[in-house]
Every structure is written in structure tokens, then in C-alpha cells.
Amino acid sequence: MPALTTGIDVLKRQFSGAPPPLTPEEIAFTNAPQILAITGSFFGATVLIVMLRCYVRLRMLKVFGIDDYIMAFSTILAAATFACFIFRVEYGLGKHFLVILMDPVQYQNLTMVLYIHAILVMVGISSVKVSIAFFLLRLSPQTVYTRFLQSVIAIIILYTIACAGTLIFQCIPVEATWNLSLRPPPFGTGDAKCFSLITFRNIGLGNSAFNILTDALFATMPIPLIWQLQLNLRTKVSLIIVLSLGWFACAASIIKTIQQYNVLTTPDWTVHDSFNVWSYIELTIGIIAASLPCLKPLFNWLLETARAFSSFGRSSGGTEYKGSAHGANNGQRRTNEYSNKSIALTSLTSRAESTPHSSKSPYRTGAPTGLAEQEALRSMSSTESILPLHQHDLTQAGIIVTREVEVSNNNKWSV
């Protein structure tokens, strides 16, 4: 029995009527859970990041630019591509190629969904790059950068249209792409014209090389743009690092290209579907890397909120200072004090009642408070003036107790 070295050899052998040399275990085997786990994880992370991006742009910044719209479109394409993975699993993805060929209708459905899948992921990857270019246009301080980015956008759009044409019209009629009966022998009895597998692979490799080049460009270009902005060094470095995550998309594109080159020499490509999985990883990583810089306002808000809660936990309640009356360097010590009790404050209409040494005064300290000397307060009630600003005699030793109070409608203060 000759060795089956390529997918086309498997097809020819199957259509010649030879039975598949597979065991029952091999027929029952499927790698679909692993494929869906990998692609599903990247899809979930992508949706989360893009939703946060939309929240920041719409609710926090009250602006939604063209780059945001294009990135939302890319996310929709990523969702549609993941749906294609699910449909392809239903039609045998993850199983051995020979097992799928045992059911011609199943193989036709699998190929038809793969046809749609390839177009979606290609347009999705290109739209991510266009979105990044529009984002960088907002940062571009010079005309030369602006014109360069506009040229790159035009090139990407034109190249995407050309690639979409090769994918859509790889066979004439188009239906022959998934309906092998329309092709000439040994696959069918028709006269459809299709790209040879070698030609189709070379076109795909050219598209992958273009993606690698543009991934590297957009991962590198933010460095000179951000460096010219009026930002502090820490912010510049953080933005450059985040935007440089595009290098991960570039790495995924390189791995995808290697898998693409080997796909025609892999007789059992449907088990792992490595080429399409890495294409999807490239798409989702590109979306995530391009969206993370837009989350900076959200991260800042979270940090400020965390700091506020931390400060509140340390300083909530009353404060007590021991030592001299004023000055942080006079040996004073601060302690937190909580109290749920209420203190009824007396009126300041009487000089005697407000005297520091009076037994009726709620402000008994070892140093004079100066309240008795405030003639203007003689006719005021406690709801109108509580502990006004005054000067303390720093030569007097003693303790000053400060309490945080709230006024209530029944002329009492709650500590």
C-alpha cells in the first residue's frame, strides 16, 4: 500500500473506492474539545476586552471614534469565525480526515463552512490593522506620519479586496469549492476550473507574508509617535509596552505561515486544524493588543478607587493628637478613634458655659481654647457655630481632642 503523504493523496485514494485502513478507535477519535477550548478561550478574552473598551469610550470618555467602530466590526467577525469552528466540529472537525471522507455530504458541509471561515478571518485580520492605523492617526503629531498612515490604510484595504477575490473565486463556478462533484476527475465529473493546490498555497503564503510585515510595522510604529507626545516617562513606557503587544500577533502570524506551508503535506490536517487555529489566534491577539491602550482611563479609575478605600481605612473616624497643640514636629501622636455615641452640644450663648475650665463645657482640656473670648458667639447657638478657628497658646501643655461631627435637625451632633 503506498504511503498517503498529502491530503490530495487521501482524496484520490478515497474516491477510487479503497476502504479506509482505520481501527474502530481511530474512527471514534476526535480532537474537537481541544480545538474549541483553545479558540473559545481567545474569543472569550477578546469579547471581555472589547466590551471594556466600549464602556470606557462611551461611558467614561463620551466619544466613540472610527477606530472603535472598526474594532467592534473586527470583534463581530471574530465571533462569526468562532461560530464557524463550532459548525465545523459538527461536520467532523477534529476527526481523522479519512473518517470525514467516509461521509461525502459531511465533507461537503465541512468544506463549505471552511470556505466562509477563510474569508471571515482574512477580513477580520485586515480590519484590525486598519483600526490600529486610525488609532495611531490620533497620536500622529506630524504630517509625514499622517500621510504615511493614510497610505498604509489604503494599501491594506486594496490588498484585502484582492485577497478576498482570490478566496471567493478560487473555483469557477464558486460552488465547486465545496462540491467536488463539479470538478474534473478523479474527484467528480464536471469541468469546473479551480486554482491548483500549489497555486492556492502560494497565494496564501503571500498574504501571510504581508500580514507579518504589517504586524511588525504596527508593533514598532507607536514607539516614535508616543515618544513625541507631552507625557511623563512612565506613561510613555507603559503605552509603548502595551502597543508592542502586537509582536505577539506577529509571532502568531509566523507560526500560522509555517502551518500553512505544511498543510498540503499533512494527510490528517483535520485532527488539529493548526493553520486555522493559529489564524484565529492571530486575529484575537491583534484585537486584544489594540484595545488594551484604550483601557487606561479604567485602570486609572480602579487605582484611584483602591487608593481612596485604602486611605479611608487608615484615616476614618476621629483623630487624637497628644503633645503640644499644633505642629507635626512637636512630638504629637495620632490615633484613630471610632465612637457610635451621640454628644449633645451646649449653647455658646454664655461666657461661663464656654469657659475651658467650666464643668459644663464639653471641651475640657488642659490648655485654653479661646472660646470665651469670642464675643461674637455670645448670641449664637451650637447649631450655628461649633469650635471656630482660634489660636492656641503653644506654651501651654495639654491635650487637644478633635472629633468629626455631623449636624442633625434636632440640634444635636452625631459623632
Looking at this protein, which amino acid is placed at residue 77? Answer: L
The last residue of one of the domains, among 263, 280, 304, is: 304
- C-alpha cell of residue 395: 506654651
pLDDT at 223: 82
User: What's the CA gap between 115 and 197, in Å, rounded?
Assistant: 14
Q: Do both 15 and 161 map to the same domain? A: yes
Do residues 201 and 261 make contact, with C-beta atoms less than 8 angstroms apart? yes
- C-alpha cell of residue 167: 478566496
pLDDT < 70: residue spans in the chain: 1-20, 312-415
The dihedrals phi and psi of 101, each to the nearest 5 degrees, come to -70, -15
Q: Do both 35 and 108 map to the same domain? A: yes
Q: Do both 216 and 338 map to the same domain? A: no
- The two beta strands, 399-402 and 318-322, are antiparallel
Do residues 349 and 379 make contact, with C-beta atoms less than 8 angstroms apart? yes
The CATH number given to whatever domain includes residue 42 is 1.20.1070
Do residues 288 and 49 make contact, with C-beta atoms less than 8 angstroms apart? yes
The predicted-structure confidence for 195-251, as pLDDT tens digits, reads as follows 888 888 888 888 889 999 998 998 888 888 778 777 788 878 877 887 777 888 889
- C-alpha cell of residue 215: 504586524
pLDDT at 46: 97
Q: Do both 282 and 374 map to the same domain? A: no
The last residue of one of the domains, among 284, 304, 324, is: 304
Cis bond leading into 185, ω under 30°? Answer: no
pTM summary value: 0.69
Q: Pick from 256, 158, 271, 145: which is nearest to 211 by CA? A: 256
pLDDT at 283: 95
Q: Do both 257 and 402 map to the same domain? A: no
pLDDT at 204: 86
- Residue 49 falls inside a structural domain: yes
pLDDT at 271: 92
**What is the Cα Rg of the chain in Å?**
36
Q: Is 171 helix (H, G, I), strand (E, B) or coil?
A: strand
The last residue of one of the domains, among 265, 280, 304, is: 304
pLDDT at 328: 43
Total count of domains within the chain: 2
Q: Do both 244 and 104 map to the same domain? A: yes
Do residues 178 and 118 make contact, with C-beta atoms less than 8 angstroms apart? no
Tabulate helix, strand, coil % of the chain (nearest 5): 60, 5, 35
Q: Do both 134 and 256 map to the same domain? A: yes
User: What's the CA gap between 388 and 411, in Å, rounded?
Assistant: 17
User: What's the CA gap between 373 and 391, in Å, rounded?
Assistant: 11
Residue 300 domain boundaries: 7-304
Contacts of 287 (CB under 8 A, 6+ apart): 46, 49, 50, 71, 74, 75, 78, 128
Q: Is 392 helix (H, G, I), strand (E, B) or coil?
A: coil
- Residue 1 falls inside a structural domain: no
Q: Where are any strands of DSSP class E within 252-332?
A: 318-322
CB atoms closer than 10 angstroms to residue 275: 22
